Amino acid sequence: MSKPAARARIYRGTPRNLAMLARALRRGGLVAVPTETVYGLAADALNARACRKIFTAKGRPANDPLIVHILARGDLDRIARPNDAARILARKFWPGPLTLVLPRQPAVPDVVSAGRSSVAVRMPRHPLLRRLLKLGGRPLAAPSANPFGYVSPTTAGHVLAGLGHRIRYILDGGPSAIGLESTIVDLRDPRKPRLLRPGAITRAQLERALGRPVLTARVSRRPVRGAQLAPGLLTRHYSPRTPLVLHRRIDPKDVRADHGRDRAWLFIAKPRNLAGTNIHWLDPRGNLRGAARRLFGALRSLDAGGFKAIHAELPPGNGLAEAINDRLRRAAARG
């Protein structure tokens, strides 16, 4: 079988291009869009046929529900049934990298929520996506714009590399400012908020806003058909093809003793007293925001570097470190 030719084009966010992309969405087409977290693959969230195309393009199993992106807080009631906890978090953190799981409204097609009685909603901050939401006049369902299981895209080029032969339209909004997918919190029971996915809005921020603890949801570690809470949160996810080995601390002695070219060493901060072509770091000073922003790009380029293994050091601590750790662990999980 020959590989289908690439046919996607990358569009800058000019008024004319945005109008054209909004028309494509209204006609039921797919458009890859920038968000402040990662790029998403968007379709009209109220059009079941359009949303089904997302699953086909990504190779995503139908039991893995999508996030609905809305323009304004006032659009929430059309998609979900918010409670007080949801209103508090929406007021405090939207627009921004926070997704709320709530009881769903009947207007949301089954395919979007994978047949569940709940739906995931977020109000994104990226200005180009907001203009597109406004022009389209519809909420947009969008998962990350990567082939299922691979590392999420943080540039238009990443989307082109992964889905270029499956879609036509990519809106370029520059590199994603945050670089990790949104925090997801399950608020179906407002008295028991549960963290489904850590992200740039930290557990501590949620706890302060809600005035109660936010526990981690137990997510099934194995694919179980239809059964688990958030199928996309399987351990193995966001994975480069090159095996990834995690360390609480990489001993510089081990790195110095490694005279081969088979291994890449990935640090959060630029390591002192180590140099070499297979020494890499995410942020010169170990700033976690910088590290989060560059993590997926680094995993992609190391994955293309022909190494037999990537050795990465986990950042200690909570907050954004929890989200970076989560993505590194998923990227390292096999099978």
User: What span, in angstroms and rounded, lies between the C-alpha atoms of 322 and 316?
Assistant: 8
**Segment (H or E) for 118:** strand 118-122
User: What span, in angstroms and rounded, lies between the C-alpha atoms of 209 and 89?
Assistant: 7
Residues 164-183 that bind ligand TXA (CB under 6 A): 181-182
The structure tokens 């569009």 sit at 11
Query: By CB under 6 A, is residue 292 in contact with ligand TXA?
Result: no
Query: By CB under 6 A, is residue 232 in contact with ligand TXA?
Result: yes
Q: Which residue among 34, 44, 89, 113 contacts ligand TXA (CB under 6 A)?
A: 113
List the single partner that 64 binds among Mg ion, ligand TXA, none, CB under 5 to 8 Å by kind.
Answer: ligand TXA
User: What span, in angstroms and rounded, lies between the C-alpha atoms of 239 and 113?
Assistant: 24
Tell how strand 194-197 and strand 215-216 pair up: parallel
User: What span, in angstroms and rounded, lies between the C-alpha atoms of 258 and 314?
Assistant: 20
Q: Which residue among 233, 250, 282, 292 contacts ligand TXA (CB under 6 A)?
A: 233
Burial, 187: exposed, middle or buried (Cβ in 10 Å; 0-12, 13-18, 19+)?
buried
Query: By CB under 5 A, is residue 176 in contact with Mg ion?
Result: no
Query: By CB under 6 A, is residue 47 in contact with ligand TXA?
Result: no
Shortest distance, CB of residue 177 to ligand TXA, whole angstroms? 11
**Measured from the CB atom, is 60 or 311 closer to Mg ion?**
60
**Measured from the CB atom, is 11 or 55 closer to ligand TXA?**
55
In this structure, are residues 179 and 37 in contact, taking their beta carbons and an 8 Å threshold? yes
Binding residues for ligand TXA (CB under 6 A): 35, 37-38, 40, 64-67, 99, 101, 113, 116, 118-120, 142-144, 181-182, 184, 196, 229-233
Binding residues for Mg ion (CB under 5 A): 144
